[in-house]
């Protein structure tokens, strides 16, 4: 069943867990996540990121996600991630996305506020909630893209940003990065606590891959209500498929590869749901 992401995030904040958020770019990833959520009774968020899966048209991805979420027996939210323009967000909403993220983190603050405000007005008119980003989460899930340095969220402008834009959730930067961490991850939990103490708007964490269980635990305790994962559940996939290839003399049938991929993703996602403390919260 489809549940608005903002509703799910608020519930997570009240009950002290984080909504596990995965890319649902194709059928294998989507089915694995939903099956994992059903098995452990977890709410689930599925996103589509155009910059990561540029080869998959939005017109195919969104209906697939919406149909899968609608059929699920656990609460599932679907979101367009990191939309950087009015047009793509409007397209996503028209196709059935019930949450969108406007990523204006690369813009000057005043411009980020103004554009976020415009997106919120449009999205809310169609019953769609909006996530924005304040500060800048660096790194990249793409191997061929040069990663940029993160810029921590300035707590002094959080309230103004939220009040003017009327966003439903806020992605913040506190040492988290997209893709693989380069060196030791240093998360500013005090910053999360400070921002969480200022507002009831749920806080989200992008770049949730590769941390220790204790770092996830502390992030949630500090006030994070939604954690995004992609890299974390894909890094060991090739090794798993190589094992399958060995068993099939390097010539597995394609449907076996699909099945092995679903099984691998499901195993990794179940582990993350345990880390997020979302199991049993559906």
pLDDT tens across 189-246, in order? 999 999 999 999 999 999 767 788 999 999 999 999 999 998 878 888 888 888 888 8
255 carries a ligand binding annotation: no
Phi, psi for 134 (deg, rounded to 5): -125, 130
Rounded to an integer, the average pLDDT of 8-18 is 96
Rounded to an integer, the average pLDDT of 152-169 is 96
Phi, psi for 16 (deg, rounded to 5): 75, 35
81 carries a ligand binding annotation: no
**pLDDT score recorded for residue 178:** 67
3-state class (DSSP) for residue 199: coil
103 carries a ligand binding annotation: yes
Closest to 118 (Cα-Cα) out of 137, 94, 90: 90
**pLDDT score recorded for residue 254:** 87
**pLDDT score recorded for residue 234:** 84
The residue ranges of every structural domain in the chain are 5-276
pLDDT > 60? residue 247:
yes
CB-CB contact of 136 with 173 (8 Å): yes
82 carries a ligand binding annotation: yes
pLDDT in tens, 71-129: 999 999 999 999 999 999 999 999 999 999 999 988 999 999 999 999 999 999 999 99
pLDDT > 60? residue 48:
yes
pLDDT > 60? residue 47:
yes
List beta partners, residue 133: 171
Tell me how far apart the alpha carbons of residues 145 and 183 are, in angstroms, rounded to a whole number.
Answer: 18
Q: Which two tokens stand for residue 238?
A: 């090739």
pLDDT in tens, 115-160: 999 999 999 999 999 999 998 776 554 444 445 567 889 999 999 9
**pLDDT score recorded for residue 179:** 57
133 carries a ligand binding annotation: yes
pLDDT > 60? residue 183:
no
Check residues 53 and 155 and name the one with the higher pLDDT.
155
Tell me how far apart the alpha carbons of residues 21 and 33 are, in angstroms, rounded to a whole number.
Answer: 9
**pLDDT score recorded for residue 212:** 87
* CA quadruple 205, 85, 140, 137: dihedral sign: negative
Class of domain 5-276 (CATH, top level):
alpha beta
């Amino acid at each position: 069943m489809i549940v608005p992401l903002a509703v799910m995030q608020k519930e997570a904040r009240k009950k002290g867990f984080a909504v596990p958020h995965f890319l649902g770019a194709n059928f294998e990833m989507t089915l694995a996540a939903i099956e994992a959520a059903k098995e452990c009774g977890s709410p689930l968020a599925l996103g589509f990121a155009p910059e990561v899966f540029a080869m998959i048209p939005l017109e195919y991805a969104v209906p697939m996600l919406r149909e899968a979420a609608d059929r699920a027996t656990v609460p599932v939210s679907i979101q367009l991630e990191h939309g950087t323009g009015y047009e793509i967000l409007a397209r996503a909403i028209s196709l059935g996305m019930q949450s969108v993220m406007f990523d204006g983190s690369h813009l000057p603050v005043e411009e980020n506020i103004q554009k976020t405000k415009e997106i919120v007005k449009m999205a809310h008119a169609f019953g769609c909630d909006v996530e924005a980003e304040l500060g800048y989460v660096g790194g990249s899930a793409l191997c061929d893209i040069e990663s940029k340095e993160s810029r921590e969220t300035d707590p002094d402008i959080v309230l103004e940003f939220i009040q003017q834009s009327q966003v439903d959730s806020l992605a913040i930067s506190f040492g988290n990065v997209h893709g693989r961490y380069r060196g030791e991850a240093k998360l500013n939990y005090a910053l999360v606590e400070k921002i969480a103490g200022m507002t009831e708007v749920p806080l989200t964490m992008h770049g949730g891959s590769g941390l220790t269980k204790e770092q996830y635990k502390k992030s949630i305790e500090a006030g994070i209500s939604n954690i995004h994962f992609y890299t974390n559940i894909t890094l060991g996939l090739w090794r798993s498929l190589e094992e399958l290839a060995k068993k099939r003399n390097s010539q597995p049938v394609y449907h076996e590869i699909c099945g092995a991929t679903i099984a691998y993703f499901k195993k990794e996602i179940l582990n993350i749901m345990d880390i997020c403390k979302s199991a049993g919260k559906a």
